[in-house]
Amino acid sequence: MEESEINPDVQEKVESLAENASEGTINNAEVKNAETNSENDSVFKRVLENGFDGITTNPNYKLLALLIILLINLSLFFLVGNLGKTFLKNSGILG
């Protein structure tokens, strides 16, 4: 049958049923995505969303905290390196 031969009332009911079915599928997919997202939160995502300290989301503060951490690591690297170097010199292994 062609569309022109179908009863308009029946066609409206079929269209509304198809729309309801597609909306239900979309809603189910949204619920599943929300559940999956809450279960799969990584540390990286939490830092991006909540900020480095869990309070701020200002990117400048995040970069500042990262810079401070990197400077502390660099200074510790040099400190440990110098301690090791002096130990090796004192023990006679390093000339």
Q: Which residue has the higher pLDDT, 15 or 80?
A: 80
Q: What is the pLDDT of residue 46?
A: 75
User: Residues 15-43, buried b or exposed e (16+ Cβ, 10 A)?
Assistant: eeeeeeeeeeeeeeeeeeeeeeeeeeeee
Q: How far is CA 65 from the centre of its chain?
A: 19
Judged against a pLDDT cut of 70, whether residue 75 lies above it is answered with yes
Per-residue pLDDT of 30-64, as tens digits, reads: 656 655 655 567 777 777 777 666 656 777 877 88
Judged against a pLDDT cut of 70, whether residue 69 lies above it is answered with yes
Statement: the pTM of the whole predicted model exceeds 0.75: no
The mean pLDDT value of the chain amounts to 74
Judged against a pLDDT cut of 90, whether residue 12 lies above it is answered with no
Q: How far is CA 62 from the centre of its chain?
A: 15
State the virtual CA torsion across 60, 61, 64, 65 in degrees, nearest 10: -150
